[in-house]
Amino acid sequence: MTEERDKRILLAHGGGGRLTANLIASKILPRFANDALRQLGDSATVHAGGGPILFTTDSFVVKPLFFPGGDIGKLAVCGTVNDLAVAGARPIALSMALIIEEGFEMDLLDRILESAAAAAREAGVEIVAGDTKVVERGAADGIFITTAGVGERIAELSMGQIRSGDAVIINGTIGDHGMAIMSQRKGIEFDTPIRSDCAALSPLTCAVVQAADGVRFMRDATRGGVAAVLNEIASGAGRGIEITQDQLPVNAAVQAAADMLGFDLLEIANEGKVIIVVAEEAAATVLDVCRSHKLGREAAVIGRVLKAADEPMVEMATAVGGRRIVQMPYGRQLPRIC
Amino acid sequence: MTEERDKRILLAHGGGGRLTANLIASKILPRFANDALRQLGDSATVHAGGGPILFTTDSFVVKPLFFPGGDIGKLAVCGTVNDLAVAGARPIALSMALIIEEGFEMDLLDRILESAAAAAREAGVEIVAGDTKVVERGAADGIFITTAGVGERIAELSMGQIRSGDAVIINGTIGDHGMAIMSQRKGIEFDTPIRSDCAALSPLTCAVVQAADGVRFMRDATRGGVAAVLNEIASGAGRGIEITQDQLPVNAAVQAAADMLGFDLLEIANEGKVIIVVAEEAAATVLDVCRSHKLGREAAVIGRVLKAADEPMVEMATAVGGRRIVQMPYGRQLPRIC
């Protein structure tokens, strides 16, 4: 029997956690079966123009539209650039499609477009195609932006290359984006303002894969946070992952906000953070490259890949000396975080 | 002085007519200046993967979601396939990003995805990347879909190649999609039901450019209808265009609906119609190819390109023996037509 809650879309279906994964597995994959999609990578490989290109898309519905450290325009550019970047690509071009609510202020549109243009310049990509649709008042909430992107492969990465003993690296503090949005939304102010980490990662990821040979796989930790990405990697690699809580870079104000609001930072969205799985012997090089880059000053080795397992899990050695399992988030905590 | 109406987004800004063109010229182009975007083609040319690829995007917000002849899923696939097709490309792969309102019925989502998958199969493209966002009740109207697409160039087409004397061909009846939507929306029924012409044009356009050498330019007549496309072509080619009303293929029931509701079919959206500008000597070949294809049975030469002009206009020889100017539509007639 189908339960009533299975008959309708829930907010959690868009949360990037278990329900999103279920939706994709039950509704999307069976209908659009093809090798490229089945990988469920951050970007798909397409053969066109004589060679392989990487191709990806994301919609952005973030609320509020403006937040410390960014806005929906910057986010829409960085988010898609990052999906290309972590797949081992150099981003080349983006498309940008706007769905705008009738009555939306032209001044806000100006600011959003300006910000998107600045982010694209900084990431070195051109926005080459676009579309604008307007819906009547009440049919959308201000503005939604969908970007797609194409890039050129500069490194062959995959979860299948991951080996036991590989190091797990992150390029900086976790949870900044999600907590910046939540603080803004709840009207909470802190002495040290919380800023989103929203940034285009391609300059960093290109530097990393060009400097080191042993990079196996990268993924940006957006919806579902580091917890979701580590679980996806463990599952895809067929190997457990062990992380150490003390090694996780955390911004003190962000931790305070998370504690106050009852969130686990591991499950909170980032918009400028990448998990890099790298051969043990190349870890030091990758760490050096990250730390010498403005997007990776606080990079750290946060864990390692364990031996092959039938039910690979993500475990964390806690700060107080215990161990806990880091689960795949369910996905309902933070609607419209990106 | 900025007028109050210039301070906010109007429905007409998304109508595909003059206000859309103004918005693009004033807000988009100055900020995202690059050669590919500046063309304002149906697809942009991007150099990636060793060769040129074509890249495009569109958002779909059609209301109602289901209509005779199609639904938002089919439309989202065909619309983007067509933007590639008319640019002289063979479509290769699409992305599909969903923005869904919380509470949306899973059954409807199933039907929409099923329809999108069928349309993709028919067009011979794979949907290789996607995204799903869910927004709270009231923050969107059911579901919006944004597709992007990449394709391989099989013909070099541009408005710059258009010459005086070229023939203007359309592959069939005009206004079917828009009138199907409007009839559905207004609850009007006709003895002969009006069906949208929603279809993937790539099988037809690929056949046309492979059969004939003299194809100059193609554009699908969506928002803004045939009137908008002809004005864009006249302006881009720097040459007037003359069409003959009697030559325009029209479905009688669609004409009746348009008359009843007070619409000019030239301004009504199509989703399976392409305007083909072709050298006079190749017109017969193109017409033959169209008429022998299921998407072009009622194809017709509807006009020709006039001599170069400073202010090129589109003129129509009317059925009653007069002449009238076919203007660029203002764009406010039909919100959410696609």
The pLDDT value given to residue B5 = 66
Q: Do the chains contact at A113 and B24, CB–CB below 8 Å?
A: no
CB-based contact, A207 to chain B, within 8 Å: no
Q: Which residues contact A230 (CB under 8 A, 6 or more apart)?
A: A168, A241, A243, A275, A303, A314, A326
Kindly tell me if the per-residue pLDDT of B280 is higher than 70: yes
Question: Which residues of chain A are within 8 Å of residue B82 when distances are taken between CB atoms?
Answer: none
The pLDDT value given to residue A19 = 87
Rounded CA-CA distance A332/A329 in Å is 8
Residue A98 in tokens: 């706007």
Q: Do the chains contact at A103 and B6, CB–CB below 8 Å?
A: no
Beta strand B215-220 with B274-278 is: antiparallel
The pLDDT value given to residue A1 = 45
Sign of CA dihedral A91, A95, A98, A99: negative
Mean pLDDT per segment of 10 residues, for chain A of length 338 residues?
75 85 90 85 88 94 96 98 97 97 97 97 95 96 98 95 98 97 84 91 97 96 95 96 98 93 94 98 98 98 96 96 93 78
CB-based contact, A335 to chain B, within 8 Å: yes
Residue A338 in tokens: 């990106």
Q: Do the chains contact at A23 and B132, CB–CB below 8 Å?
A: yes
If we measure between CA atoms, which residue out of A244, A227, A178, A220 comes closest to residue A328? Answer: A227
How many interface pairs between A and B have CB atoms less than 8 angstroms apart?
299
Residue of A nearest to B338 (CA): A133
Which of A9, A49, A126 lies at the smallest CB-CB distance from B152?
A: A49
Residue of B nearest to A46 (CA): B93
pLDDT tens column, B173-215: 999 999 999 988 888 777 778 999 999 999 999 999 999 999 9
ipTM over 0.90: yes
- Report the largest interatomic distance among the alpha carbons of chain B, rounded to a whole angstrom: 57
User: Which 139-178 residues of chain B touch chain A by CB within 8 A?
Assistant: 139-141, 144, 146, 148, 150-152
Question: Which residues of chain B are within 8 Å of residue A144 when distances are taken between CB atoms?
Answer: 99, 133, 140, 144
Q: What percent of chain B has pLDDT over 90?
A: 82
pLDDT tens column, B233-265: 999 999 999 999 999 999 999 999 999 989 999
Q: What percent of chain B has pLDDT over 70?
A: 98
Which of B49, B63, B139 lies at the smallest CB-CB distance from A48?
A: B49
Rounded CA-CA distance B90/B72 in Å is 22
Q: How far is A148 from chain B (nearest CA, A)?
A: 6
Q: Do the chains contact at B93 and A46, CB–CB below 8 Å?
A: yes
Q: Which helix (H) or strand (E) holds A263?
A: none
Q: Do the chains contact at B37 and A138, CB–CB below 8 Å?
A: no
CB-based contact, A16 to chain B, within 8 Å: no
In degrees and rounded to multiples of 5, residue B289 shows phi and psi of -60, -45
Question: Which residues of chain B are within 8 Å of residue A36 when distances are taken between CB atoms?
Answer: 93, 126, 128-129
The pLDDT value given to residue B35 = 86
Kindly tell me if the per-residue pLDDT of B40 is higher than 90: no
CB-based contact, B240 to chain A, within 8 Å: no
Q: Do the chains contact at B129 and A55, CB–CB below 8 Å?
A: yes
CB-based contact, A110 to chain B, within 8 Å: yes
If we measure between CA atoms, which residue out of A167, A159, A181 comes closest to residue A225? Answer: A181
Q: How far is A41 from chain B (nearest CA, A)?
A: 8
Whether the CB-CB separation of A39 and A246 falls below 8 Å is answered with no
CB-based contact, A38 to chain B, within 8 Å: no
- The predicted model scores a pTM of 0.95
